[in-house]
């Protein structure tokens, strides 16, 4: 297959983050563009903290089609959008920017992406169940919104500073899901059907104070590097199902792709490209 050529008519999308060199998003989206024969390209743009307003303005000025947003900029980007979708406004976090003529629209595809991931990849039904969530940042709030919308009964949020759970509770205003904040180290005594790690802990071998999980339990680590975290190992040793964050990454990416292009994302192609990239030596 000939290498795609980038020319004056090539549409450009990007991911904004700091750091961003580790991102799988360029691999995923460029594989999708190539598979569909589209004259598009996707690049990673490192944006230092404090430079978000200038970087976002540059997207519009340079004619970008859109962008994804990763840590630590999801909340800062929400503050500089012209319009926010309902989920982005509720979560006060943007992970996808859509450039529509002269306006920047902030979306959050993490919440519907997590819902798709639970339904299609692991077959978990949140209705009537309980969850334990490590962390309360933008990704954590998106996961909480997804399961609350699906009828989850109760979410326990484990934090170093439990008072920081307030924005997550606010994001679920209007839903029947109960939210309780506890000290991080007390999580081992909690009871939950679903446990989600939305913190960086585990990327370098750190352990989490996991509660007891039985055969019906599910542990989701939003990290996708390493492929097997200590949390996943512990959950599997206890007999529970445990998965990493690649599925969420792919589903939210597919939703972003569809927003920008108006075409159905080739999810299998995107998945294969991500798996191949993760298999390469670091």
| pLDDT, tens digit, 9 for 90 and up, residues 184-207 | 999 999 999 999 999 999 999 999
The answer, yes or no, to whether residue 266 has pLDDT greater than 50, is: yes
**Is 71 or 263 the better-scoring residue by pLDDT?**
263
Q: Give me the mean pLDDT over the 115-139 stretch.
A: 96
* pLDDT, position 45: 98
Closest CA to 235 of 266, 214, 252: 214
Q: What is the mean pLDDT of residues 69-73?
A: 93
* Residue 1 clears pLDDT 70, i.e. is over it: no
Eight-state DSSP code of residue 6? P
Per-residue pLDDT of 235-254, as tens digits, reads 999 999 999 999 999 999 99
CA distance 235 to 43: 36
Distance of CA 184 to the CA centre of its chain: 22
Sheet with 178-183, edge to edge strand ranges? 178-183, 154-159, 130-134, 194-197, 218-221, 241-243
DSSP-derived pairing of the beta strands 96-100 and 83-84: unpaired
* Ordered structural domains, the chain, with CATH: 11-108+249-279 (3.40.50.10860), 111-244 (3.40.50.720)
pLDDT bin (cut points 50, 70, 90) of residue 4 is low
- pLDDT at position 214 is 87
Residue with tokens 């170093």: 160
Kindly tell me if the per-residue pLDDT of 39 is higher than 70. Answer: yes
Return left, alpha or beta for 139; rule: phi > 0 is left, psi -120 to 50 is alpha, else beta. Answer: alpha
Give pTM, 2 decimals: 0.93
Q: What is the pLDDT of residue 125?
A: 97
Give me the mean pLDDT over the 30-45 stretch.
98
Kindly report the average pLDDT of the chain as a whole number: 95
Task: Give pLDDT, residue 281.
Answer: 76
Positions marked active-site = 74
pLDDT tens-digit profile of 137-155?
989 999 999 999 999 999 9
Per-residue pLDDT reduced to its tens digit, 154-166? 999 999 999 999 9
- Taking the C-alpha atoms of residue 47 and residue 70, their distance in angstroms, rounded to an integer, is 10
pLDDT band at 3 (very low <50, low <70, confident <90, very high): low
Both tokens of 135, joined, read 């962390």
């Amino acid at each position: 297959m000939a290498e795609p050529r980038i020319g004056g008519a090539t549409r450009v999308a990007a991911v904004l983050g700091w750091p961003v060199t580790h991102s799988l998003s360029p691999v995923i989206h460029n594989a999708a563009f190539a598979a569909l024969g589209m004259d598009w390209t996707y690049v990673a743009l490192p944006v230092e903290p404090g430079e978000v307003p200038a970087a976002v303005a540059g997207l519009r000025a340079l004619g970008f089609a859109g962008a994804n947003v990763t840590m630590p900029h999801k909340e800062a980007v929400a503050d500089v959008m012209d319009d926010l979708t309902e989920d982005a406004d509720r979560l006060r976090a943007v992970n996808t920017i859509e450039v529509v003529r002269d306006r920047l629209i902030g979306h959050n595809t993490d919440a519907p992406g997590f819902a798709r991931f639970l339904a299609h990849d692991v077959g978990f039904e949140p209705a009537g169940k309980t969850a334990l969530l490590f962390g309360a940042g933008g990704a954590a709030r998106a996961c909480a919104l997804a399961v609350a919308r699906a009828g989850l009964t109760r979410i326990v949020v484990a934090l170093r500073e439990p008072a920081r759970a307030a924005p997550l509770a606010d994001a679920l205003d209007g839903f029947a899901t109960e939210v309780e904040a506890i000290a991080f180290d007390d999580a081992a005594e909690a009871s939950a059907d679903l446990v989600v790690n939305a913190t960086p802990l585990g990327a370098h071998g750190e352990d989490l104070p996991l509660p007891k999980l039985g055969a019906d339990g599910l542990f989701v680590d939003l990290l996708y590097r390493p492929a097997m975290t200590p949390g996943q190992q512990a959950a599997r040793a206890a007999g529970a199902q445990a998965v990493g964050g690649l599925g969420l990454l792919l589903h939210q990416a597919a939703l972003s792709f569809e927003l920008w292009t108006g075409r159905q994302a080739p999810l299998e192609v995107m998945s294969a490209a991500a798996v191949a990239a993760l298999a390469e030596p670091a």
